Amino acid sequence: MEKNTIPVITVDGPSGSGKGTICSLLAAELKWNLLDSGALYRLVAFGALKHQIDFTDTDKIADYARQLDIRFDVSEPNPETGATEVAVILEGEAVGDGIRTEECGNNASKVAAIPAVRAALLERQRQFLVPPGLIADGRDMGTVVFPEAKLKIYLTASAEERANRRFKQLKEKGIHATVGSLIREINERDERDMNRTVAPLEPAEDAHVVDTSSMPINEVIQRVLQLYRQVFK
Ligand code: DC
């Protein structure tokens, strides 16, 4: 299959809008591949810290992003649910939840504002486009990485709702946080992601904007699958 005929659904939006959950459910439902582009930026930030590269040294961070040694090991599907798990391996070592912390997300947002880092990761992201199709989760999937995608979704939700969701997730993991501090962090991250000069977070002109503030996950999935059927069938 030619690269440009492989179907892609891009799902962009701010942190906490439900992209991660929606994208993994969609990938399992359609049996398509999944690109978690945020994980790539998180890995650059995580590895830069490990190697003590200063975040203000943009040349060194970009060099590091260019030679990033990573692998995604996908588990066999769970026989009952069909769900797979992905182990992220950086320089031969599993990173586990190390890249999922709020701190790593904030650091990822900082390195993601460096144009040379974004350029370094562009081709790597496009390599995820293999048959039978791709669900691409990020901030600039529909605008920059896969502008030719036939179906583009932009998920959003109010900062309060996103902070509440994050609060619940953290509580389940036994991590202490307050909704007030999470709202502040979310606003700071939105501000950085939306106002950077290269590939800022914004809906593509042809994106379907879905506000998930008062929508349960199930409803969001149904809405996206309905769009999928309209576009691809
Ligand atoms: O989706 P996430 O929370 O894992 O992303 C972490 C940060 O990485 C996010 O705040 C901004 C950056 N990012 C980006 O700039 N472009 C992407 N396509 C994905 C993530």
63-99 residue pLDDT tens: 999 999 999 888 887 788 767 788 999 999 999 989 9
Whichever domain contains 228, its CATH number is 3.40.50.300
From atom 11 of ligand 1, which residue's Cα is the shortest distance away? 109
What is the pairing mode between strands 70-74 and 86-90? antiparallel
Ligand 1 atom nearest to CA at 41? 8
User: Which pLDDT value is given to residue 2?
Assistant: 64
Ligand 1 atom nearest to CA at 113? 15
From atom 20 of ligand 1, which residue's Cα is the shortest distance away? 38
Q: Which long-range contacts (CB under 8 A, 24 or more apart) does 161-164 make?
A: 161/212, 161/213, 161/214, 162/14, 162/15, 162/16, 162/17, 162/186, 163/16
Does residue 131 sit within a domain?
Answer: yes
Does residue 2 sit within a domain?
Answer: no
User: Which pLDDT value is given to residue 7?
Assistant: 96
152-186 residue pLDDT tens: 999 999 999 999 999 998 898 888 899 999 999 99
Nearest to 89 by CA among 33, 28, 47, 138: 47
pTM reported for the whole predicted model: 0.92
Interval 9-33 mean pLDDT: 93
For the chain, how many structural domains are there in total? 1
